Amino acid sequence: MTASTASSIDYVLGNTTAEHQRLLRQGRLLAPITRHWLEAIGLYPGMRVLDVGSGVGDMGLLLGSVGGPDVEIIGVDLDESALAIARHRAAEQGFHQIRFHVSNFREYEPDRPFDAIIGRSVLVHQPDPIAALKSLVRHLRPSGIIAFQEPWFAQTICHPRLPLLDDMMGWITRTFKAAGLDADLGARLPSIFAAAGMPSPKLCFENRLACRADLEICALGADTVRSLLPTMERLGITTREIVQPDSLAQRLYSQAIAMGSGLFGAMPMVGAWWEDQ
């Protein structure tokens, strides 16, 4: 099957209810490593923070938890239905210092600068991540912090390797490439920061590991493929008949059990941050 190309797709994973559920699952799995990264960045009381690509609110909630009630958080995203979930979660958990706005972050014009600009799995969805980063730096006050945590799918951990996992990762990475994106963007964060005119950032690399097959991790992978499937089929990467999305998570889990996988990872993430001096 020959893959066609696309110069730009707004969000290859779509804006469906299923994608929102995938984001919630991803948020649960990545929360420990994202929290650790946020603690390393050095948030402090009184900060004004821009949460880029808020989605269903996971980053905003973590920022509120790590930074405390005196940190003002403004979240922006284009998906109004996702932000409705984010607002409900913030209100339910008592994070009254968080506000969410429907906006394209590349065109967002705040009333005043931010002390920190932070995002997770945002630049990976930008056809031009350097331009996207430049569009945000202009909203950073002097001595402000800019930080992004992005995936590096090529470092997905599973031992021994599973044939079905390799198939899944191939579908995902080829879809991103055909859509003009880079599924391994996390590895390029230093060069992206440099090209945007910033010095070398501080870095960390983390993954959430299990000692055996984990059905929740399998489900996240299957959910990602399910969300990408319309784009996969449109770009000629694979088909629903090959993927069999309804049974994908269970098949991956069963294969891991059968092959005795003793090391199983969720999503490898590179965190980069830089403080303007």
Q: What is the pLDDT of residues 51-82, one digit of tens each?
A: 999 999 999 999 999 999 999 999 999 999 99
Q: What's the pLDDT score for residue 263?
A: 81
**What does the pLDDT read at residue 277?**
58
| pLDDT higher than 80, residue 139 | yes
Reply yes or no: is the peptide bond before residue 268 cis, omega within 30 of 0.
no
State the Cα–Cα distance between residues 35 and 59, nearest whole angstrom. Answer: 9
Exposed / middle / buried, residue 92 (Cβ in 10 Å: 0-12, 13-18, 19+):
exposed
Residue 80 falls within a domain, yes or no?
Answer: yes
Instruction: Evaluate whether 120 touches 58 at the Cβ level (below 8 Å).
Output: yes
1 assigned to some structural domain: no
Query: Is residue 248 in a domain?
Result: yes
Report the distance separating Cα 53 and Cα 120, nearest Å: 8
Asked, for residue 242, whether it belongs to a domain, the answer is yes
Q: How confident is the model at residue 2 (pLDDT cuts 50, 70, 90)?
A: very low
- pLDDT higher than 60, residue 22: yes
Residue 8: predicted pLDDT: 38
> Is residue 3 one of the residues assigned to a domain?
no
How many structural domains compose the chain?
Answer: 1
Mean pLDDT to the nearest integer, 80-90: 98
Residue 4 domain flag: no
Enclosing domain of residue 232:
17-275
Report the CATH number that the domain containing residue 49 is assigned in CATH.
3.40.50.150
Tell whether 132 is covered by a domain: yes
Torsion angle (degrees, nearest 10) of CA 32, 225, 179, 117 = -20
Residue range 189-201, pLDDT digits in tens: 999 999 999 999 9
Is residue 11 a part of any domain in this protein?
no
> pLDDT for 206-253, tens place per residue?
998 888 889 999 999 999 999 999 999 999 999 999 999 999 999 999
pLDDT at 265 over 90: no
